[in-house]
Amino acid sequence: MADEFAAYRATAGGISYTDVGQGPVTLFVHGVFTNGRLWRNCVRLLSGHRRCVSVDLPGHGHTPPVGEASVWGLADAVGTVLRELDLREVHLVGNDTGGAVAQVALTREPERFASFALTNCDTEGNFPPPAFRPAVWAAKAGLLRAGAALARRPRLAKQLYRTGYQDVAAVPDDVITDYLAPTLGSREGVRFMTALLASMAPDQLAPIRPRLAACELPTAIVWGTGDLFFRRSWADWLVDLIPGATEVVEVPGARLFFPDERAAELVDALAAHWG
């Protein structure tokens, strides 16, 4: 299977993205070791009546390792796409580290957004989550370069994604290759990912807390309950912090990458939110 939306791919200020459909703008932000293809099934379901923009963050997908290797640098890339395309009244959706990036992007230019939605993601105090810390330690020890072979062996590489997917065997091999090749398949990618993971710290998102605590934007918290990285308690933390968030919508048993695997349930929750 090739990139489903390759014909809709473009760049803005060096940042790659796909732009599919017409209607209210929905901007999707992925996390580390994935890319914009994480949202492929959501885009397929939504692009008949919404404009779906899926960003490849620096060092991921079709975007080279550019800018600062931190959540702040990744948020700069999202801001570049927003400004270059002059996107307004945007419905912002984030997952995993992309949820943290989305939080930063939202607080920098709140006037551009019409609504906000977070799925299982990093937050202040849980960045990185305990279950992901071995990957951070491996990065600091210089071990990421050993993963280059996995980028060429997707069936083996799928073992790395077993905790994020309920049925990783059902994920097309080329999707896994697209996830790993940019991040582990080159020296530049490994250097960027090593710096990005090493930059993560529990208090890194503390500076944006006052702005999130003042955010009245309608906010959906849609949470998979089977996730080993981001427990339900962090969804409740977000609801308590963000005034525009009123409840947690649970996706029973869903894991971290449920926006790909169980896209229909996420789309239903987003439709209710937008409605």
Provide the pLDDT for residue 151: 77
Count of structural domains, the chain: 1
pLDDT at 146 > cutoff 90:
no
**Any domain includes 184:** no
**Any domain includes 30:** yes
Q: Give the 3-state secondary structure of residue 86.
A: coil
**Any domain includes 174:** no
**Any domain includes 190:** no
Are β-strands 113-121 and 90-96 bridged in parallel, bridged antiparallel, or unpaired? Answer: parallel
**Any domain includes 234:** yes
pLDDT at 126 > cutoff 60:
yes
Question: 117: which strand partners?
Answer: 93, 220
* Domain of residue 112, CATH code: 3.40.50.1820
Provide the pLDDT for residue 64: 97
Question: 249: which strand partners?
Answer: 222
pTM of the model: 0.97
Q: What are phi and psi of 199, to 5 degrees?
A: -80, -15
Both tokens assigned to 88: 């307004």
Provide the pLDDT for residue 1: 42
Are β-strands 51-55 and 90-96 bridged in parallel, bridged antiparallel, or unpaired? Answer: unpaired
User: Which domain, by its residues, includes 258?
Assistant: 6-129+204-274
pLDDT in tens, 174-225: 999 999 999 999 999 999 999 999 999 999 999 999 999 999 999 999 999 9
Both tokens assigned to 179: 């996830």
Neighbours of 105 (CB within 10 A): 30
Could you identify the residue written with the tokens 């959906």? 220
**Any domain includes 149:** no
DSSP string, 240-265: HH-TTEEEEEEETT--TTHHHHTHHH
